[in-house]
Structures are given as structure tokens and as C-alpha cells.
Amino acid sequence: MTAGGDAGRCPIAVFASGTGSNLQAMLRHQQHNPLWPARIVLVVSDKPGCRACDVARAAGIPVFAERVAAYPDKAAFEAAVLDELRARGVMGVALAGYMRIVGPTLLSAYPGRIVNLHPSLLPAFPGRHAVRDALAAGVRETGVTVHLVDEGIDTGPVIAQWRVPVDAGMTEESLLERIHAVEHVLYPAVVGELARRWLEEVGRGR
């Protein structure tokens, strides 16, 4: 493999609905780590105005950003996304703050090749408000999980977890900041490893 060359890197798409700080962390790897095995070739969003779209465009990454409501149903939205993924040769997908359940159209097209990041030690605190829910439960420890996506909400086989302590008096904002600091290191590392695996699998015709 040529260091820094695109030929040895696995083309992936990142799906995002929010601020895009994890997308940014992966883009930093793409830019500065010549051996990072992934290459982000597309960013998909269901929130056309979100900051993640701006982050992608600023980095020169193509963006597919459409509201699901603009399509007859979710399957039609995902079929349009799938056309984009295939047109760009995407081999795997990393969800990074994509606040939507992935449907059968995409799951069946990328079996075992869609990965999600979640701000808790799953199975604790699934859903949209994991950080708030952990604080409300009064836990002394939460964390970050990376898992393969299935049809459930934040379910699917866990690939990596990292503990994050919760100090007395922490707010949702300060805990989220601590969690993000972990995510920004953990997710690019795990996505890189998966990308290496996906590239090998595709090379073997699987």
C-alpha cells in the first residue's frame, strides 16, 4: 500500500445529523494519518442544515443531505442513499450522531458493515439522551460504545467500549465534553480497524 495513497484505503460513508465533531475527528485522521485505512468519500445527513454538513463541505467531502419527509417513505429515502453509496463505491458506513434508525434497505445492502457510536456503556442508556439519562440515574461511571448496527435502537454486537467517570456536580455539558474527548480518539481507531477488515473482505469477494 502506498502511504497516503487512496488505493489502499477503504471507501466509507459517514452518516451524521448533528454537530459533526466525530466526523471532524475522522477527517483529521484522513488528513494527517497516512496509514489510516479508511477514506471518507461521502457524508450522508437527514438534516440538510446541520453543522456536520458544513464540516464535510469545508473538507471538500461530497454531501448527500435530504429530509426523509421529501420522499414517499423511509425506504425510498434509503434507496436514494443507497444509490449514492454505490455510485461512490462505499464499502462500509460509520454512523456519527445519525439520529435515525437504519432500515432494512441499508442493513441488507451492508450486512455487518454499518457501525455506530453511542455515548454510554450499552446496553445501559440507549436512545437519544444517553448522557442526560446517565446523569439522572446518578451513575458514577458511564462511557462510550462502538457497535455494529442491527434493526434495533443502539443494539447490535459491541466492538469496543471505554469507561468515563462521572464526577459529582457534572452537568450534561461537562459530561458530554468528557465523553466527546474519548469518542474522538476511540471512534477513528475502531473505524480504521474495521475499514481494514472490510477492504480485505471485499478483496476476498465476501
Nearer to ligand GAR, 20 or 156 (CB): 20
| CA atoms of 54 and 38, how far apart (whole Å) | 21
Interaction between residue 96 and ligand GAR (CB under 6 A)? yes
Total number of residues that touch ligand GAR (CB under 6 A) = 15
| CA atoms of 81 and 105, how far apart (whole Å) | 10
Q: Fill in the amino acid letter for 147.
A: H
Catalytic residue among 29, 32, 118, 147: 118
User: How many other CB atoms sit within 10 Å of the CB of residue 60?
Assistant: 7
Interaction between residue 29 and ligand GAR (CB under 6 A)? no
Interaction between residue 37 and ligand GAR (CB under 6 A)? no
* Pairing verdict, β 92-95 and 114-118: parallel
Q: Which is nearest to 98 in space by CA: 59, 68, 122, 72?
A: 68
Shortest distance, CB of residue 86 to ligand GAR, whole angstroms? 25
Interaction between residue 172 and ligand GAR (CB under 6 A)? no
Shortest distance, CB of residue 105 to ligand GAR, whole angstroms? 20
Interaction between residue 183 and ligand GAR (CB under 6 A)? yes
| CA atoms of 23 and 169, how far apart (whole Å) | 29
Shortest distance, CB of residue 205 to ligand GAR, whole angstroms? 32
- Binders of ligand GAR among residues 124 to 163 (CB under 6 A) are 130, 154
Asked whether the beta carbons of 84 and 64 are under 8 A apart, the reply is yes
Compute CA distances 141 → 117, 121, 135, 154, 185, whole Å.
18, 9, 10, 19, 19
Shortest distance, CB of residue 183 to ligand GAR, whole angstroms? 6
129 is catalytic: no
Q: Which residues are catalytic?
A: 118
- Footprint of ligand GAR (CB under 6 A): 16, 18-22, 52, 96-97, 117-119, 130, 154, 183
